[in-house]
Amino acid sequence: MQIRLRTEKFEREQLSPFAALSCMSRGRALPEEPCPVRTAFQRDRDRIIHSKSFRRLKQKTQVFISPTGDHYRTRLTHTLEVAQIARTIAKALRLNEDLTEAIALGHDLGHTPFGHAGEEALNEILQDYGMSFKHNEQSLRVVDVLESMNLTWEVRDGILNHTGPQDPVTLEGCIVKIADRIAYINHDIDDAVRGGIIKPDDLPKDCLEVLGERHNARINTMVMDMIKSSWDSPKITMSPEVREAMDKLRNFLFRNVYIGSEAKTEEHKAKNVLQSLFLHYIRHPEQLPDQLIKKEPDTTPARAACDYVAGMTDRYALDVYTEYFLPKPWLD
């Protein structure tokens, strides 16, 4: 029973000529016997979902640090929203939905605790060790080294290039890159309104006229525009009008939510937590997990400390910081 072969045949016959076919993958760093049921990209998706780093996303900040409310997004719910948006677009364009989903689910595996504040904290302190930190590069390191997933080249390319100046090679990866932006723009508006940072009336009116007044309407406009603009095309794009409105809305969020808002008042404390933990593990590498060192026997203390701290959840980082740096009460 070769279900995989049947699926690969379906891809060849039914998908767009611009789609990435699983049977034509550039392969894995370590060759493997193909699965009789799953295609290469389906296998990658499953490996990501079953990874420890994927499970930890549920306790990592999206925008609001360690929120107590149950309805604020976390890095995990953000990832799932990106995957849903990206799959819808890929399916409509007859591109490879499995590849799209795998990239979307893996794109933020390397994100730090406390969101982009944590990313900035590690990047700043790593400069003293001749290193830098970018979450997309760390995501690739997670799947390549820390969890040794041995993913296909196409999924790895999509994860690495989901942000930054270089676009992914596959159209599926390009879909995820834009879907990531669609997701966070809209759900961060929702969370910022819920948190009292902005009011619905604060949103730029000209953007709402193009995209829609409501959360679901804006996502629908962007998704439908991507499908229409990219139909039977070797490029994933949006119409100039919708792209401009989306970019203006994103700029509004940077001015009013991401930088200098009440939601960011605790970020300097969060950055101090991560930098303090990093320096602690530089001084005490024996406290790092043995399996982390065994992944790369020649790894430097700075690299190992960075990997460990970046992989922490918000809650675990705060618990470890409390244990190392705050006095314990005297018990009589």
Taken in order of first residue, the domains within the chain and their CATH numbers are 3-325 (1.10.3210.10)
Q: Mention every residue, 6+ apart, whose C-beta is less than 8 A from residue 318.
A: 66, 273
Q: How far apart are CA 311 and CA 238, in angstroms?
A: 34
Distances (CA, A) of 210 to 85, 90, 91, 223, 228: 19, 23, 25, 13, 16
Local structure of residue 152 (DSSP, 8 states):
B
φ and ψ at residue 175, rounded to 5 degrees: -60, -45
- Residue 79's pLDDT is 98
Rg (CA), the chain: 21
**Rounded Cα gap, residues 56 and 48, in angstroms:** 12
Q: Which of 326, 325, 283, 319 is nearest to 304 (CA)?
A: 283
- Per-residue burial over 271-282, b if 16 or more Cβ lie within 10 Å, else e, is bebbbbbbebbb
Mark out the alpha helices in 149-300 (DSSP H runs): 153-160, 171-194, 205-211, 215-230, 240-253, 267-283, 290-295
Helix (H) or strand (E) holding 141, with range, is: helix 135-141
Q: What share of the chain is helix, strand, coil (3-state, %, to 5)?
A: 65, 0, 35
From residue 71, give the alpha-carbon distance in Å to each of 74, 183, 184, 224, 274: 9, 15, 15, 27, 25
Encoding tokens for residue 173?
């990866």
Q: From CA 119, how far away is CA 59, in angstroms rounded?
A: 16
CA gap 135, 164 in Å, rounded: 11
Residues of the chain with pLDDT under 50: none
Residues 304, 276, 132, 192: is their CA dihedral positive or negative? positive
Tokens of 207: 């953007």
Q: What residue type is 61 in one-letter code? A: T
